[in-house]
Amino acid sequence: MKKSLLLFLLLLPYICFADDKLSSSRELLYGLDGTAADVLFNVQHVFRYDEEKIGLQYCPDTDSRETLIRLNSQLSPEVMVEGLYLIPYPENMTQGNKKEIIDELFGLSHKVSSIAGAKYFSVRKDSYQVLFTDTYAVNNLKDKKRIPDPEPSSLSTGDRVFLHMRENALGRGYYRIDYGKSSSGISISMINESSLGFILPAVSPEDMQIFLDIIPCSDAILVYGYCGVVLQNDDFVNLLLDPYYAFYRRMTAMETWLYNILHDSDVLPPIAEPMP
């Protein structure tokens, strides 16, 4: 028994070091199509519209993978978009170890009021426009009382936050955000808890899911984005907007928001074409 304990204590530093090692983004994306990989590693951003209903193609090999596969299956979205993003580390973050980086990302991701002002590129107006406004956390979905941004404990492995947000096309809505933290990174799952729409309802409650998987890698922070939606009044919605682009821009606005809070910057979302 004493020998076993001694061996464990001798190996403990190596066990901890192995768990703390950062994988490269390429290791986690070994199944990514070669053309998509070339685009991602050249311009730090690649995305696709699932118009052929093929299903998930970009999901990295992380702790969140099975959760996302199950979520997509349960939702059976009419409109689904996937994206991959590489965010360079801010200089101050490169000094930390893997756990410290994950804890910092976990804390920053709870600054939900800072989503207000996030922009997107409007094709109709041929300019960048503000997408999200009037964004703040609420205590619950019954009272809907405004509260400060939550401050999670570094020991927490998950949190739930309720959010009020106004979006320029889909109007005012309430959302549930579920956070997860694991040894590979953090996940943010955002689902609408109220109906969304402009003149007629476009999305019923719980019919829009945005998922961000945020993974610190040795070369950059890898972000996988997913948006799946079941539409209402499809013909009317399609007359007013391109639903694939509309929901892609929401996902990318959130990724750009993360970039900006990490770098204390004000960069704009990239303009690019989806992969075929």
Round to whole Å and give the CA distance between 198 and 200: 6
**Tokens 């690649």 sit on residue:** 46
To the nearest 10 degrees (0 to 180), the angle between helices 98-108 and 243-263 is 120
Both structure tokens of 158: 């998950």
pLDDT tens-digit profile of 190-200? Answer: 999 999 987 78
Residue 2 is predicted with a pLDDT of: 41
**Tokens 């969140």 sit on residue:** 64
Round to whole Å and give the CA distance between 24 and 34: 16
pTM: 0.89
Question: In this structure, what DSSP letter does residue 146 have?
Answer: E
Mean pLDDT in residue range 136-152: 95
Round to whole Å and give the CA distance between 88 and 37: 17
Both structure tokens of 43: 């311009």
Question: In this structure, what DSSP letter does residue 151 have?
Answer: -
pLDDT band at 42 (very low <50, low <70, confident <90, very high): very high
Residue 95 is predicted with a pLDDT of: 65
Mean pLDDT in residue range 84-112: 90
Both structure tokens of 260: 């900006």
Mean pLDDT in residue range 62-73: 90
pLDDT band at 91 (very low <50, low <70, confident <90, very high): confident
Both structure tokens of 265: 């910057």
Judged against a pLDDT cut of 80, whether residue 208 lies above it is answered with yes
Any idea which of 53-67, 105-119, 235-249 has the lowest mean pLDDT? 235-249
Mean pLDDT in residue range 123-128: 89
> What is the set of domains in the chain, with CATH numbers?
23-263 (3.30.530.20)
Cα distances (angstroms) measured from residue 73 to each of 21, 228, 244: 32, 10, 19
Judged against a pLDDT cut of 90, whether residue 244 lies above it is answered with yes
Q: Mean pLDDT, the chain, as a whole number?
A: 89
Contacts of 171 (CB under 8 A, 6+ apart): 196, 197, 198
Residue 204 is predicted with a pLDDT of: 96
